[in-house]
Chain A
Amino acid sequence: MAELLVIAGQRAGELHPASLEAIAAARSVKLAGDTLAVALIAADPQALVGALSVEGVDEVIAIKASDDFQPDLTEAVILALAEARKPALIATAHGVDAWSFAPAAAVKLGCGLATDVQALRLEDGALVATRAGYAEKVLVDLDFPGKETVLLTIRTNVFEPAAGSGSPKVTEMAAPAADIATTHEGWKPPADAGGIDIPGSEFILSIGRGVGDESNVEQFLELAGGMGATLGCSRPIADNGWLPKARQVGQSGQLAASCKLYIAMGVSGSVQHQWGMKHVETIVAVNTDPEASIFSIARYGIVGDMFEIAEELQNHF
């Protein structure tokens, strides 16, 4: 008869799609007799109740406050709900907002905590969460002995978003008092993508640190063009300003959502980069370092010099 709680999120009144993935994660450990409640803070939470009324959700807790993300308020809501309901599990998407509030809420609550969780299960009644470690080279199974409540942030793009229809009851909750230390001042939209469409591309050629210098970038733009691929890159290339941010694949950039063939040249394969492309069916890694972690997720590997390979490849297109 456990209570499961999901903290959903919104940005400017639009539901974070990953909230439905967090619901799916919580639902995966929901037993008969358990209840699953989803809490949402928004200026007009009622407007999002429909989107959260998916199969398995028994209750939507609507908290009317500003649409602005305020970690102090989210933490106060989690504390108030945890005290009143003693949930066994609090789940939320491992998005940038959760990075701000989840660890702070967990220490205030003294609960169990694991972030970036990619699988969870019950084993003899105990919650076991799996996350990666050492730059994705290992997996770790965690449990939480002696913790009445466990807070988990759920890696995005792992759980299939919860769907199906439900008819949860809707509970209105007054925003708890919170000492709010942040003020939303505005947005800085991403620079104009200039027609670059990483999420829509089926074929991406991506370059990383191995490219070495800005003057080397042009030949890969040409190669990608010749092959009919979109040129992508890892974070350092965009941070250096060698390619626009719209080409950056990874957690803080773009998700290669439609990609079927991904060629990574001189990309070591950080966790952040893998987030954006790990799911692609055929990954080819070209790297001089045979120990680069990109090889562990690639289908084909070429240990070699990206410039030589690129030059030879050009002859075939």
Chain B
Amino acid sequence: MKILVAVKQAAFLDDEFEMRADGRDVDADFFEKDLNEFDHFSVEEAMLIKEAAGDAAEVVIAIVGDEDADDALRTALAKGADRGIRVWDDALAEADGVAVARVLARLVEREQPDMVFTGAQSADFGSAVTGMALAGLLGWPHAAVVCNLDYTPGAKTATLRRELEGGLEEIMTIRCPAVLSIQLGINQPRYASLRGIKQAKQKPVDELSLDDLGLSAADIAPVARVRKMYAPERGKAELITGSAAEQAARLAEIIKELRGM
């Protein structure tokens, strides 16, 4: 029994940042990278299933990314996952969610997991594409924004809840294997223990290229082309300065004025 969890290293910007010379992305010097917040929940869900089954499931973490992404992969492994796979090729530098899904589809064929999890979206771009595109490529059952899951490794069906708008949830059963995108709040993600962090460094990680997966650069062509990226025009907040008492007094004024008090 095996659960494959596909994770991402999300990029965050410093407050001040500059665009790359071609104007199609931010200069990489201004990135701060970390494991995508949603992926803490998908990894945790896989770990909970593994533990409930008395360890009778292997949890494999997959990531598409360069050497930098190794940190995010190890963060996930430190929570107790068994091993990792990292796929990289310079041709993936501009990979979008669909391109990543094409890589993951090959990994799924190779690994034959019983279940695949992704985060519901990434915290940086929030496209919410990779997981469900993967399901489309595989022809697998799929559900997005899963906020509750009842699944035993190897079972033919799972029961889940999808989180809909306004707090409503839908209960559904789904045929397995399936691809599920996992929502925040489905569980309480654990922090890695010191021992876990130490062990994560020793855990096996397969490093694969596109070639290893039988993919060419043409196979991972993006589904959209970035024409340009730019900072939106918007006013900066007017800063209220002074001591806490002065700041609060000004805020009270604003409240009273706007509320007609």
Interface string of A124-141 (1 = CB under 8 A from B): 000011001111011111
Please tell me if the beta carbons of A108 and B166 are within 8 angstroms of each other in the complex: no
B174 CB to closest chain A CB (Å) equals: 5
Please tell me if the beta carbons of B234 and A100 are within 8 angstroms of each other in the complex: no
Asked if A173 is at the interface of the complex by the 8 Å CB criterion, the answer is: no
Nearest B residue (CB) for A193: B167
By a CB distance below 8 angstroms, the chain B residues around A134 are 11-13, 26, 124-125
Please tell me if the beta carbons of B236 and A135 are within 8 angstroms of each other in the complex: no
A139-B232, A285-B237, A308-B244 known; A313+B251 contact, CB < 8 A: yes
Asked if B107 is at the interface of the complex by the 8 Å CB criterion, the answer is: no
A96 CB to closest chain B CB (Å) equals: 5
Interface string of A283-317 (1 = CB under 8 A from B): 01110001100011111111111001101110111
B167 CB to closest chain A CB (Å) equals: 3
Please tell me if the beta carbons of B258 and A316 are within 8 angstroms of each other in the complex: no
> In the complex the two chains form, what is the Cα distance from A246 to B183 in whole Å?
18
Please tell me if the beta carbons of B137 and A187 are within 8 angstroms of each other in the complex: no
Interface stretch, picked from B73-81, B139-147, B207-215, is B139-147
Nearest B residue (CB) for A111: B223
Please tell me if the beta carbons of A300 and B129 are within 8 angstroms of each other in the complex: no
> CB within 8 A of B132: which of A99, A191, A304?
A99
Please tell me if the beta carbons of A187 and B97 are within 8 angstroms of each other in the complex: no
By a CB distance below 8 angstroms, the chain B residues around A115 are 127-129
By a CB distance below 8 angstroms, the chain A residues around B248 are 308-309, 311-313, 315-316
Main secondary structure of the interface of A (DSSP, over half): mixed
By a CB distance below 8 angstroms, the chain A residues around B228 are 140-141
Asked if B224 is at the interface of the complex by the 8 Å CB criterion, the answer is: yes
> In the complex the two chains form, what is the Cα distance from A101 to B227 in whole Å?
26
A68 CB to closest chain B CB (Å) equals: 8
Interface string of A225-261 (1 = CB under 8 A from B): 0011000000110110000011010011110000011
> In the complex the two chains form, what is the Cα distance from A316 to B252 in whole Å?
6
A133-B124, A134-B13 known; A254+B166 contact, CB < 8 A: yes
By a CB distance below 8 angstroms, the chain B residues around A135 are 12-13, 123-124, 126
> CB within 8 A of A138: which of B97, B140, B223, B231?
B231
Contacting residues of chain A (196-241) with chain B, CB-CB under 8 angstroms: 203, 227-228, 235-236, 238-239
> In the complex the two chains form, what is the Cα distance from A238 to B147 in whole Å?
14
Asked if B47 is at the interface of the complex by the 8 Å CB criterion, the answer is: no
Please tell me if the beta carbons of B251 and A71 are within 8 angstroms of each other in the complex: no
By a CB distance below 8 angstroms, the chain A residues around B15 are 290-291
Please tell me if the beta carbons of B249 and A187 are within 8 angstroms of each other in the complex: no
Please tell me if the beta carbons of A103 and B128 are within 8 angstroms of each other in the complex: yes
Please tell me if the beta carbons of A96 and B144 are within 8 angstroms of each other in the complex: yes
Contacting residues of chain A (137-191) with chain B, CB-CB under 8 angstroms: 137-145, 147, 181-191
Q: Which residues of A contact B (CB under 8 A)?
A: 11, 69, 71-72, 75, 95-96, 99-108, 111-116, 128-129, 132-135, 137-145, 147, 181-191, 203, 227-228, 235-236, 238-239, 245-246, 248, 251-254, 260-261, 263, 270-271, 282, 284-286, 290-291, 295-305, 308-309, 311-313, 315-317
> In the complex the two chains form, what is the Cα distance from A284 to B162 in whole Å?
33
Nearest B residue (CB) for A133: B125
Please tell me if the beta carbons of B236 and A295 are within 8 angstroms of each other in the complex: yes
Please tell me if the beta carbons of A228 and B171 are within 8 angstroms of each other in the complex: no
By a CB distance below 8 angstroms, the chain B residues around A138 are 13, 26, 229-232
Asked if B193 is at the interface of the complex by the 8 Å CB criterion, the answer is: no
A104-B135, A112-B224 known; A301+B239 contact, CB < 8 A: yes
Please tell me if the beta carbons of B26 and A317 are within 8 angstroms of each other in the complex: no
Please tell me if the beta carbons of B230 and A227 are within 8 angstroms of each other in the complex: no
A190-B168, A291-B14 known; A100+B144 contact, CB < 8 A: yes
Can you report 21 residue pairs joining A to B where beta carbons are below 8 Å apart? A99-B128, A102-B132, A104-B136, A113-B224, A116-B127, A132-B126, A134-B12, A134-B124, A140-B226, A141-B226, A144-B224, A187-B170, A190-B168, A236-B184, A248-B167, A251-B165, A261-B259, A282-B254, A299-B237, A300-B238, A316-B252
